[in-house]
Amino acid sequence: MFSVVKEINEPRLPSLKGKMAAKKKTITKWSAADLGLDGNNVGANSGTTITKVAPPPPRQKGEIIEGETPEEIADKLFAKLRENQVI
């Protein structure tokens, strides 16, 4: 198994030419035997132990800043950012 964080790279949108070329490619599938592994090294027999399964922590709710004019909204946003020591 491989794992990476979302910050690993900044993905580019594929071009139409790239999408069409990808449709023609074949996907190589490897079995455990292809990798030189027997049944004792993969799946439930791999010797790994799950110590904890938990959902990610809940996200904080967002806040909608409202106002009559764009200037009023900007002032409220600036005050909120300063209050939270972002700026």
For residue range 43-73, list pLDDT tens digits in order: 777 777 888 899 989 988 888 999 999 999 9
pTM (2 decimals)? 0.35
Q: Among candidates 51, 84, 52, which has minimal Cα distance to 65?
A: 84
Confidence of residue 16 (pLDDT cuts 50, 70, 90): very high
List the domain boundaries for the chain: 13-39
Confidence of residue 1 (pLDDT cuts 50, 70, 90): low
Ramachandran region, residue 48 (left: φ > 0; alpha: ψ -120 to 50; beta: rest):
beta
Interval 2-13 mean pLDDT: 78
